């Protein structure tokens, strides 16, 4: 079968609700398999089954968008390159898709560097070739879909499970990390902010991300009322993380005091009232509206940019480069790395981070490159030559 995509191009999007171009029938399953696995999905087509998977497996809008993107790409490729539906895909199709993700061709059909709305005529499924890590992530999502379909009695097997996933190189030295000097410069930049509301919000926001390691969406979804004080007197913030897992994050007294100053700046009472629905992160105006993920990321990039400018004036050029690249997620890495280096307690860091696996947390137990160089050079010695 040819792997050449029709020059007619792609449909704008995969419509998970209406798919008139596809035969709306259930894939054939033999009688013995049907008896062993009853049809729990109860869809009328593969695409409808995929839509039910999206609806049934997550309530997080960000996670659902990421899952949908990977499945939508695959469905379009399967239809237009392999002329197959999901239920007809085999192992060699998955292997071919891995190669395709590394170089989506023809590029004018599949790729657009400009991000457009999904209904736009020039929308394309890919922004460019996918990295090894992104290829692996795509297969994880597709494997999850197929495993769910098998478990629900919709399909007999999971072809993705039989294909080796791409191995993304793992750099043990986490690069997305700011040293304490970078953190200090960021606060210096925030202190020079002219707007009192923005200055108060940004100071609290930066402190929150660095002192707790929260993900952006965890912080923007939280309300001030979810703060509670335990019987021992310690403060905790309830957040909802990946895969809808809820966890409590410790809030220091210093951060709580910063929250109070932030509240006062927005004409709120110093202490959070029971049942109050004020968002934890607000837009930098007097309307007290919830800050979106994009608002937070934009504000963080602006702070980092001003901190980088300060670093350049002091000829700290390497630090300036780091600050220029830094985002909210860098503060998460910095929080866990600094904690791991100071305490060596990976169990504690894992709990704070909300990691499912310890090997994810163990990446934070490292020395900076310069510190590593000094320790190795001073510890391992050989006698000089005569």
Residues 6+ apart with CB under 8 A from 192: 306
CATH code of the domain covering residue 335: 1.10.443.10
281 shares a domain with 214:
yes
- The pLDDT, as a whole number, for residue 165 is 87
pTM over 0.75: no
255 shares a domain with 130:
no
232 shares a domain with 140:
no
- CA–CA gap between residue 224 and residue 220 (Å, rounded): 11
Domain that includes residue 235, residue range: 180-369
- CA–CA gap between residue 89 and residue 46 (Å, rounded): 11
342 shares a domain with 255:
yes
43 shares a domain with 116:
yes
- The pLDDT, as a whole number, for residue 378 is 63
Tell which residue, 62, 154, 138, 66, has the closest CA to residue 100. Answer: 138
Q: Is 323 within a domain?
A: yes
- The pLDDT, as a whole number, for residue 25 is 41
- CA–CA gap between residue 184 and residue 205 (Å, rounded): 14
251 shares a domain with 305:
yes
List the chain pLDDT tens, one digit each, 386 residues: 334 333 344 444 555 544 433 333 444 444 454 445 678 998 889 889 999 999 998 877 777 888 899 999 999 999 999 999 999 999 999 999 999 999 999 999 999 988 888 888 889 999 999 988 789 889 989 999 999 999 999 998 999 999 998 876 655 445 678 989 999 999 999 999 999 999 999 999 999 999 888 999 999 999 999 998 888 888 889 988 777 888 888 888 999 999 999 999 999 999 988 778 999 999 998 789 999 999 999 999 999 999 999 999 999 998 999 999 999 989 988 888 777 777 666 666 677 767 666 556 555 555 444 454 555 556 655 556 54
- The pLDDT, as a whole number, for residue 53 is 93
Tally of domains within the chain: 2
- The pLDDT, as a whole number, for residue 383 is 58
- The pLDDT, as a whole number, for residue 272 is 85
198 shares a domain with 125:
no
| CA distances (Å), origin 123, targets 61, 101, 111, 113, 145 | 21, 17, 9, 10, 24
Cβ(158)–Cβ(94) under 8 Å?
Answer: no
354 shares a domain with 213:
yes
244 shares a domain with 288:
yes
- CA–CA gap between residue 53 and residue 58 (Å, rounded): 9
Q: Is 60 within a domain?
A: yes
Q: Largest alpha-carbon pair distance within the chain? A: 84
- The pLDDT, as a whole number, for residue 367 is 45
């Amino acid at each position: 079968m040819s792997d050449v995509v029709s020059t007619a191009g792609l449909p704008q999007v995969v419509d998970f609700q209406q798919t008139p171009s596809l035969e709306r029938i259930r894939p054939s399953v033999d009688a013995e398999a049907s008896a062993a696995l009853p049809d729990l999905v109860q869809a009328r087509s593969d695409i409808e089954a995929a839509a039910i998977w999206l609806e049934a497996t997550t309530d997080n809008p960000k996670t659902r968008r990421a899952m949908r993107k990977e499945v939508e790409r695959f469905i379009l490729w399967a239809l237009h390159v392999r002329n197959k539906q999901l239920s007809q895909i085999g192992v060699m199709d998955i292997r071919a898709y891995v190669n395709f993700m590394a170089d989506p061709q023809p590029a004018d059909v599949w790729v657009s560097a400009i991000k457009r709305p999904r209904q736009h005529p020039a929308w394309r499924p890919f922004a460019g070739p996918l990295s090894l890590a992104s290829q692996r992530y795509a297969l994880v999502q597709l494997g999850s879909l197929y495993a769910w379909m098998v478990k629900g009695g919709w399909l007999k097997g999971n072809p993705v499970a039989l294909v080796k996933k791409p191995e993304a190189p793992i750099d043990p030295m986490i690069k997305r990390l700011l040293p304490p000097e970078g953190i200090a410069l960021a606060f210096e930049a925030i202190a020079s902010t002219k707007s009192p509301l923005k200055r108060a919000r940004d100071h609290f926001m930066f402190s929150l991300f660095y002192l707790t390691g929260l993900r952006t969406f965890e912080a923007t979804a939280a309300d001030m009322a979810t703060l509670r004080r335990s019987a021992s007197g310690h403060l905790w913030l309830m957040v909802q993380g990946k895969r809808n897992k809820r966890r409590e994050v410790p809030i220091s007294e210093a951060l709580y005091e910063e929250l109070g100053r932030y509240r006062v700046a927005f004409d709120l009472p110093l202490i959070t009232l029971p049942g109050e629905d004020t968002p934890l992160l607000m837009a930098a105006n007097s309307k007290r509206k919830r800050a979106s993920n994009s608002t937070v990321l934009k504000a963080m990039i602006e702070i980092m940019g001003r901190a980088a400018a300060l670093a350049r004036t002091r000829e700290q050029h390497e630090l300036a480069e780091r600050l220029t690249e830094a985002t909210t997620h860098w503060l998460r890495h910095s929080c866990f790395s600094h904690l791991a280096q100071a305490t060596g307690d990976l169990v504690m860091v894992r709990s704070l981070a909300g990691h499912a696996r310890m090997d994810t947390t163990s990446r934070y137990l490292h020395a900076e490159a310069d510190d590593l160089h000094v320790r190795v050079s001073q510890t391992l010695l050989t006698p000089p030559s005569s």
